[in-house]
Amino acid sequence: MVDDRLFLEDVRFFGRHGITTAEQTIGAWFSVDVEITLDLSAAARTDSLGETIDYGAVARRIVEIGMRGRVNLLERLAGLIADELLRETRAGQVRVRVRKLTPPLEGLTGTPGVELTRRR
């Protein structure tokens, strides 16, 4: 069993995800962390991008998914990202953490977020 991981932290985009009118109208900044589990031994040995996953492409994909359409829940957004990354890469497992950095919600303190893990 391989325990190698490729990760990206704090991939940001602006979106209008949420249930309230303010979230849908004003929008918010989101931050996504992704951890992808796969065998990286060939990449470590050969120094070849073809033996790993291009994290630049993953970051662009996260932003594309986050900025298209609108969803109500962070759980849905994280699930879309996890499912698409699993489908589009050689990953055995994907862990996605989504945080809403600037929620326009009166009285809210802190940063809401979710973390999902999906496996093949």
Structure tokens at 2: 């391989």
Q: What is the pLDDT of residues 34-52, one digit of tens each?
A: 999 999 999 999 999 999 9
Cα dist from 57 to 22, 68, 79, whole Å: 31, 17, 18
pLDDT digits (tens, 9 = 90+) for 102-112: 888 777 778 99
The pTM score is 0.92
- Which domains are seen in the chain, by residue range? 5-119 (3.30.1130.10)
Cα separation, 89 vs 86, in Å, equals 6
Can you read off the two tokens belonging to residue 34?
Answer: 């992704």
Chain center to CA of 78: 6
Lowest-pLDDT range of 12-26, 54-68, 104-118:
104-118
Average pLDDT (61-89) is: 96
| Edge-to-edge strand list for the sheet holding 5-15 | 5-15, 28-37, 93-100, 113-119
Residues 38, 4 contacting (CB under 8 angstroms): yes
Q: Does the pLDDT value for residue 54 go beyond 70?
A: yes
Which candidate in 21, 100, 112, 114 is catalytic? 100
Give dist(CA 41, CA 72) in Å, integer.
39
CB proximity list for 22: less than 8 A, separation 6 or greater: 104, 105
100 a catalytic residue = yes
Residue 1: its pLDDT value, please?
62
Q: Across all residues in the chain, what is the average pLDDT?
A: 94
